[in-house]
């Protein structure tokens, strides 16, 4: 006789396998919850986070198939530097690849002087950006202008102004953008960049253009960016070295920024040296020499050098301009022999140097380094990059220091007249900064960079691209 078996109901089966169901479902529910509320990207104090997620396309392949018009996004970034104002406009596809604006991969326009030159007339400072704004708006499709962010990042020129002067200039710029711009502006998008932000943005810019983001830190390059008022060094270090980082002396903050880029976490050593940009260093070197004349000024010049609202008398010493004596003045200005850092390796002024390592082995040196090298004749100004050694600046300085102002006019035709008396000083300082300041071997190969090849195009190696990547990734 067959025994009848009881047919289990659906609820009985659920009860019977309740343990298995619980084990499987709880992690799934938690994962779904995290994915639902996890932000696409984040930004904190200028630290960039690019979500890897669906951005599978290579960041260095602008030749991928064109995106539909609606998937493009634009960003306009003003670089308000001490020597002038510049605007960069970039266009990104949905994978944060750069795509062309017309025939170029960016709009780049500049003008002089910088905002700090209008310190006593903030409204005039703001109005000086009008022509740059007009050109920026002209390349953004009209239907996208209202959601295209416009940022203004002021650098060392405004950082050096006294009192509330920089605040009044920035507020005038905010009001100007609110009244005159069709682009999307926010009050906190007009600011004086912290020097470490500037350095971090520059590091992101160059490594993005080289296609290094997403690779391990040892495959990235380090950056030295010499501006007018400050100089920044930035390079990726190991997590172990990051844990050893001291606190910054005489101030708050840290030497290490954490960045999450293309699915990879980086520990970025970055430091900004205010008063040690090329134009600011001239003032420091003039102050460093007591008595009559300065050995860094070309023979035949006698005038005033104005920086940061102060005028310094500038004329050559009785014995004329001289490489050796100028080196002594530059070392004194750098305070390279007065380090207060005794427990670890330092650069000048008692600043921790980050410990070195693989992230610093390939060094890209930008801005005034490239400009002076090309003007002095040992770098082709028509090339975007050049391999040089610090000693090349010393050799060029020797030639410049032995040249009178009158002869220099024909010997160095590409140097602007206002910079010519300081050519010996500038080249000596750049060599001293690299060797005595940053402790580079004089014969170490470094890369001078003005533009970086990206696909088949060239893009300016400047910090605004890093800022544009941040604002674009946080708004997509």
Q: Which residues are catalytic?
A: 198
Question: 460: part of which helix (H) or strand (E)?
Answer: strand 457-460
Give the DSSP letter of residue 467: H
CA distance 80 to 100: 24
Q: Is 84 left (phi over 0), alpha (psi -120 to 50) or beta?
A: left
CA distance 473 to 466: 11
CA distance 365 to 75: 25
CB 227 within 8 A of CB 258: no
CA distance 259 to 302: 48
Distances (CA, A) of 52 to 61, 322, 457: 16, 54, 24
Helix, coil or strand: residue 320:
coil
CB 305 within 8 A of CB 282: yes
310 pairs with which residues across the strands?
Answer: 307
CB 153 within 8 A of CB 191: yes
Torsion sign, CA atoms 43, 44, 46, 48: negative
Alpha-carbon 72 to chain mean position: 24
CA nearest 399: which of 371, 368, 378, 430?
A: 378
CB 373 within 8 A of CB 393: yes
């Amino acid at each position: 006789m067959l025994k009848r078996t009881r047919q289990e109901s659906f609820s009985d089966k659920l009860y019977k396998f309740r343990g298995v169901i619980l084990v499987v479902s709880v992690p799934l529910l938690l994962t779904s919850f995290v994915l639902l509320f996890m932000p696409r990207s984040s930004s904190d104090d200028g630290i960039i986070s690019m979500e890897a997620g669906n951005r599978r396309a290579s960041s260095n392949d602008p030749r991928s198939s064109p995106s539909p018009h609606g998937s493009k996004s634009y960003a306009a970034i003003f670089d308000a530097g001490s020597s002038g104002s510049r605007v960069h406009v970039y266009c990104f596809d949905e994978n944060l690849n750069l795509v062309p604006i017309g025939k170029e991969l960016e709009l780049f326009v500049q003008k002089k002087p910088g905002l700090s030159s209008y310190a006593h007339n903030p409204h005039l400072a703001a109005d000086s950006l009008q022509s740059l704004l007009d050109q920026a708006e002209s390349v953004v499709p009209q239907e996208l202008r209202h959601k295209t962010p416009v940022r203004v990042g002021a650098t060392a020129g405004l950082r050096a102004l006294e009192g509330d002067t920089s605040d009044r200039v920035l507020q005038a710029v905010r009001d100007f953008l609110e009244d005159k711009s069709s682009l999307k502006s926010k009050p906190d998008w007009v600011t004086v960049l912290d020097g470490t932000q500037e350095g971090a943005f520059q590091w992101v810019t160059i490594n993005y253009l080289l296609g290094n983001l997403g690779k391990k830190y040892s495959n990235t390059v380090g950056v030295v960016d010499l501006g007018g008022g400050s100089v920044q060094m930035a390079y990726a270090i190991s997590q172990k070295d990051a844990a050893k980082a001291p606190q910054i002396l005489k101030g708050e903050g840290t030497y290490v920024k954490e960045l999450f880029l293309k699915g990879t976490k980086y520990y970025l050593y970055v430091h900004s040296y205010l008063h040690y940009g090329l134009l600011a260093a001239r003032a420091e070197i003039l102050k460093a020499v007591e008595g009559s004349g300065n050995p860094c000024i070309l023979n035949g010049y006698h005038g005033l050098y104005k920086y940061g609202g102060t005028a310094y008398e500038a004329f050559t010493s009785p014995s004329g301009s001289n490489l050796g004596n100028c080196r002594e003045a530059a070392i004194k200005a750098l305070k390279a022999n007065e380090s207060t850092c005794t427990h670890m390796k330092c650069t000048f002024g008692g600043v921790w140097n980050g410990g070195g390592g693989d992230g610093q082995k390939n060094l890209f040196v930008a801005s005034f380094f490239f400009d002076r090298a090309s003007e002095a004749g040992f770098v082709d100004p028509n090339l975007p990059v050049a391999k040089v050694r610090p000693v090349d600046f010393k050799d060029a300085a020797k030639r410049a220091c032995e040249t009178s102002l009158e002869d220099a006019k024909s010997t160095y035709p590409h140097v602007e007249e206002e910079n010519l008396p300081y050519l010996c000083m500038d080249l000596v300082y750049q060599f001293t900064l690299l060797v005595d300041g940053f402790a580079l071997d004089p014969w170490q190969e470094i890369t001078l960079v003005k533009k970086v090849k990206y696909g088949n195009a060239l893009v300016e190696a400047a910090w605004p691209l890093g800022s544009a990547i941040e604002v674009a990734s946080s708004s997509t």
